[in-house]
Amino acid sequence: MTTGKSRAQPGKARPISHSLGKLLGLFSPKDRILVTIDADPDSMASAMALKRLLWRRVHKVAIAHFNEIRRFDNRTMARLLKIPLVKLNKIDSQDFSKILLVDGQPHHDESLAKFKYDAVIDHHPIVMPVEASFVDIRPEYGATATIMTEYLRAAQIRPAKSLATALVYAIRSDTRNFEAGALEKDVNAFHFLFPYANMHLLSRIETAEMGLEELPHFQQALENRRLRKGKIFSYLGRVRSHDTLVLVADFFMKCHEVTWSVVFGIDRKNLVVVIRNDGLRKNAGALASKAFGAFGTAGGHRAMARAEIPLVNLEDHLKDFLEAGKRYFESEEGIGFRLGCSRTKGQRVRE
């Protein structure tokens, strides 16, 4: 990394203490800083860490997100950790002397691309050059929160409870609880942060998966459930979003007797099927393609799959289709669908 105009250069090990000096060197006490994010746990935590790093070094720091925050865990995180977020379209960038971006790159969204950045700190792969006075992109890190934790450590800052909790959740979230792409650096950052984090806040954020408006769907899912030989089947009728079907399908899998969970529901103009299994010698993706590929889009992985069938393809066969679907999953060999297929307009598409 060089001073002045700098471009991201992957693959070079750069000591954080060196980068810290360069980063802090950008700012003066009169600066009014805008940090733009695509709000998710990693970007929110990274922006908080950046705000902490700049504390008493600049006049003020605002964190602005352009996206709608829909996920309940993210909303709970912002609320419980009191993350001072503002909506990007509600602010005037002219009020700020420097604009920063964390956990993303300008080309990731048009809302970000319109700014000229002073600093970009990120861990996503570099697919095109990123131009800013300061660029620190480390694709070898599982989370930007890990990079920011290293900055805090280099600056000898002990994170407050809410900041540490945010960073811990961000690392867990971006590395899918260390299942995907977790590296020694992410684990090290996690170990450093853990004693400062608040476990009650963390578990509250983690368990906040839904709102009360989902409960009637659960009630219906339980009433409609059919269980045979470890396979559970339910139809929820119309739902607000297919996320509800995922919540219900995952919920059924919590029962230790259940090996397959298949949940049907109607989301806008599609019949949506969410399939889960215990992942033991089963293939949900193959089953979804086989059962539903002829009617709409279907596919997925070994343990999870989804199919979306345009209602127009089923015409007035919805009831028969659901009945056939239930029988299909209940039968041990699989009996296949017998519907008026000649009348359907679907085609086989893999997800």
Among 38, 73, 103, 136, binds Mn ion (CB under 5 A): 103
Beta carbon of residue 43, minimum distance to Mn ion (angstroms, whole number):
7
Q: Which stretch binds Mn ion (CB under 5 A): 37-45, 80-88, 275-283, 301-309?
A: 37-45
Site string for Mn ion, 122-151 (x = CB under 5 A): ----------------------x-------
Among 38, 150, 174, 186, binds Mn ion (CB under 5 A): 174
Task: At 64, list the tokens.
Answer: 């602005």
Site for Mn ion in 283-322 (CB under 5 A): none
Residue among 136 and 174 whose Cβ is closer to Mn ion? 174
Residue among 103 and 118 whose Cβ is closer to Mn ion? 103
State the Cα torsion 170-117-19-148 to the nearest 10°: -10
Tell me: does residue 330 bind Mn ion (CB under 5 A). Answer: no
DSSP 256: T
Residue among 103 and 308 whose Cβ is closer to Mn ion? 103
Task: Compute the distance between CA of residue 336 and CA of residue 290 in angstroms, rounded to an integer.
Answer: 8
Residue among 4 and 125 whose Cβ is closer to Mn ion? 125
Q: How many helices and strands, by DSSP H and E, does the chain display?
A: 13, 15
Sign of the CA dihedral with 298 first, then 299, 303, and 304 last? negative
Q: Which stretch binds Mn ion (CB under 5 A): 134-142, 169-177, 272-280, 302-310?
A: 169-177
The helix/strand/coil state of 270 is strand
Total site size for Mn ion, rule CB under 5 A: 4
Tell me: does residue 42 bind Mn ion (CB under 5 A). Answer: yes
Q: Which stretch binds Mn ion (CB under 5 A): 16-24, 99-107, 307-315, 335-343?
A: 99-107
Beta carbon of residue 104, minimum distance to Mn ion (angstroms, whole number):
8
Contacts of 220 (CB under 8 A, 6+ apart): 236, 237
Residue among 40 and 118 whose Cβ is closer to Mn ion? 40
Interface residues with Mn ion (CB under 5 A) are 42, 103, 144, 174
